[in-house]
Structures are given as C-alpha cells and as structure tokens.
Amino acid sequence: MAVGPGVLDATAVTGGGRLGRVRRWWEQEHVFGYGLILPALVLLACLVAYPFLMAVYLSLSDYWVGSPGRFVGLANFREILGNDVFRQTVRNSFVFTGIALTLKTVLGVWLALLLARNLSGKRLIRGAVLLPFVIPTALSTLGWWWMFDSLYSVVNWTGIRLGLLNPPGPNWLGVPAYAMAAVIAVNVWRGLPFFAITVLAGLVAIPREHYEAAEVDGAGAWGRFRYVTLPLLRPVLAVVILFSTIFTFSDFNIVYVLTRGGPVNTTHLFATLAYQVGLQGGNLGQGAAISLFLFPMLGVVVFLQLRYIRRE
C-alpha cells in the first residue's frame, strides 16, 4: 500500500516535535544538572549507603556466618566495650594516627618547600616522590615486610654496617614497640607524597609579592616561612590533614600485611580487628559493631576540621 508524501511530512513533523520537546526538557538547567550527578548518586548509594546500612543492621544482631541471627539491640557494642583487645585497639588507633599524622605534616611541608625550589631535574624528582603513593599498597608493604624480616632485614643490616645498631638488630615485627614503629614508618612513607604534592600546589599559588615585601621588611628565611608561608598555607594544610586523618585512622592494608595486628594485638586498628572478628572469626555482628566505632570518632574530627576550614 502506497503512502502519500503528506503523511510522511506529518510523521516527520510529529517525530521532530517530540524529539524537540524532549531535548528542550533535557536542556533545562535543573534537569540537566540532576542528570549529571545521577551516576555519582547511584555509585554512592550502592557502594557507600547500602554497605553502611547493612553494617548498622548486622551490628544490632547476633549475625554469624551461615546463621541469620536475631535482633539483639546494643548488646554487641556493650560486649566489645568490655573487651580488653578492643580497648587496646582504641589506644593503638590514636597513637598510630597521632604520630603518623604529625610526621607526615612536618615532613610533608619540608619536602614541599624543597620541591618548590629551582632544582635541576625538578620534574623527575617530583615524579619519583609520587612513586610510594602510586605503587599498590599491598605490593609495596610486602617489600617493607621483607625489609623488616627478623632474619633477612635490610634495615638491620644497614644499621649494623653504619654502627647505628648492635648485632643482630631488633626484631621489628616481633616486639610491640618496634612493630608499632614499623607500621607508622610505612604509613608515613606511603602518605608523605600526598602531603607534599598538595602543599606544593598551595606554595605555588602564593604570590611572589608577599615574599618580596617580607624581604624588604628585613625578614629572613625563617621569618618569611613563619609570617608569609605558614599563614597562607593554613587552609591547604587543614584540608590535607582532614583527608590524611581519615585515611590513617581507617588504614588496613599496611597493618594487616606487616603484623596482622600482632604481636599480642598491639598493632590492631579498627579495620584489622573488625576483619579478624567479623570475617576470620565469623562473628559478623561484632565485626560490624567494631567497624562502626570509626563513624562517630571520625565524625567529630571531620566536624572540627571543617569548622576550622570554614572559619579560615
């Protein structure tokens, strides 16, 4: 059956009109904006919100692997608060985060000031500094595990040859104090590039006129750092310390690969203890409760630091 040209024209006009209305609707600012953020919202809902709600549900039940469990309220939280290992983990987490964060802040600012200078091969040096942050955490930590090994320790061999250590050297991963020092050192080594590169970006943004004015006023190197560099870097430092606090407090890979929380639970952090209790031990309810203790602690830290950043 033949179709006349008038019918084709009407169909084209109707189709074009519908497409045009859809396009005009999509190009509206509020519709287009929500469309752009929709994929991010879906990812957050699937990868953040759903696991968090599941953790809350599991923490309020006596859920074990292979057993659905029943609602027990806050029993899991009361039980772990009375656990000596958990209290030791809380102390470990604050000691680990406090020392590592202090070292990363001091060394990161120093390294950023060094990288800001006009050095030969500056681009190559900046790329090399990023290597600890780029290499996969588990892979690099395995290298450190070999370096701290009680039998083949490169650290001990170097310290003995330099006269800094007495043979046979300390057992880095078998003594509580040395084990904590080892995991802190590896965390600082891995997190230092993030600090240095972020602070370097803040240093580059400082106008040169401020330093010239300080030099005219007779300020030396320390005076320029104290009265020009440090005040203008405070907002950048506040942001980078905020992110580093979150990353350090919730660290898992470094501690698990190096010590698995030992010796005698002296290097356990929240993440490693939750993994040991919830997945290896099968007690998903208590494991979820341990992991949720991170939430209020990090919430307080984030609130205080964001308040400071807003004021700045």
Instruction: With respect to residue 68, please indicate whether it lies within any of the assigned structural domains.
Output: no
pTM: 0.82
Given a cut of 50, whether residue 272 has pLDDT beyond it is: yes
Given a cut of 80, whether residue 6 has pLDDT beyond it is: no
pLDDT value, residue 1: 45
Q: Are 169 and 40 in a shared domain?
A: no
Q: Are 22 and 99 in a shared domain?
A: no
Range of the domain at 199: 75-311
pLDDT value, residue 183: 94
Q: Are 49 and 88 in a shared domain?
A: no
Q: Are 90 and 189 in a shared domain?
A: yes
Q: Which stretch of 111-125, 178-192, 281-295 has the lowest confidence by average pLDDT? A: 111-125
Tokens 């020092």 found at: 181
- Identify the band that residue 280 occupies on the pLDDT scale cut at 50, 70 and 90: confident
Given a cut of 80, whether residue 285 has pLDDT beyond it is: yes
Instruction: With respect to residue 291, please indicate whether it lies within any of the assigned structural domains.
Output: yes
Q: Between residues 67 and 112, which one has the greater pLDDT?
A: 112
Q: Are 221 and 121 in a shared domain?
A: yes
Instruction: With respect to residue 298, please indicate whether it lies within any of the assigned structural domains.
Output: yes
Instruction: With respect to residue 240, please indicate whether it lies within any of the assigned structural domains.
Output: yes
Instruction: With respect to residue 279, please indicate whether it lies within any of the assigned structural domains.
Output: yes
**CATH at residue 160:** 1.10.3720.10
pLDDT value, residue 12: 46
pLDDT value, residue 16: 55
Please give the share of the chain, as a percent, with pLDDT higher than 90.
Answer: 16
- Average pLDDT in the 24-40 region? 80
Q: Are 32 and 167 in a shared domain?
A: no
Q: Are 81 and 227 in a shared domain?
A: yes
- Identify the band that residue 312 occupies on the pLDDT scale cut at 50, 70 and 90: low
Instruction: With respect to residue 293, please indicate whether it lies within any of the assigned structural domains.
Output: yes
Given a cut of 50, whether residue 123 has pLDDT beyond it is: yes
Q: Are 23 and 111 in a shared domain?
A: no
Report the mean per-residue pLDDT for the chain: 84
**Range picked from 18-27, 114-123, 149-158, 302-311 for highest mean pLDDT:** 149-158
Euclidean distance between CA atoms 130 and 197, whole angstroms: 8
Q: Are 219 and 292 in a shared domain?
A: yes
pLDDT value, residue 11: 45
Q: Are 43 and 162 in a shared domain?
A: no
pLDDT value, residue 7: 46
Q: Which stretch of 8-22, 55-69, 182-196 has the lowest confidence by average pLDDT? A: 8-22
Instruction: With respect to residue 67, please indicate whether it lies within any of the assigned structural domains.
Output: no
pLDDT value, residue 245: 87
Euclidean distance between CA atoms 222 and 219, whole angstroms: 8
pLDDT value, residue 8: 46
Instruction: With respect to residue 228, please indicate whether it lies within any of the assigned structural domains.
Output: yes
Q: Which of 33, 59, 85 is the last residue of a domain?
A: 59
Q: What is the 3-state secondary structure (H, E, C) of the chain?
A: CCCCHHHHHHHHHHHHHHHHHHHHHHCCHHHHHHHHHHHHHHHHHHHHHHHHHHHHHHHCECCECCECCCECCCHHHHHHHCCHHHHHHHHHHHHHHHHHHHHHHHHHHHHHHHHCCCCCCHHHHHHHHCHHHHCCHHHHHHHHHHHCCCCCCHHHHHHHHCCCCCCCCCCCCCCHHHHHHHHHHHHHHHHHHHHHHHHHHHHHCCCHHHHHHHHHCCCCHHHHHHHHHHHHHHHHHHHHHHHHHHHHHCCCHHHHHHCCCCCCCCCCCHHHHHHHHHHHCCCHHHHHHHHHCHHHHHHHHHHHHHHHHHHC
pLDDT value, residue 10: 46
Q: Are 34 and 87 in a shared domain?
A: no
Q: Are 24 and 91 in a shared domain?
A: no
- Average pLDDT in the 22-32 region? 76
Q: Between residues 217 and 271, which one has the greater pLDDT?
A: 271
- Average pLDDT in the 80-89 region? 89
Domain tally, the chain: 2
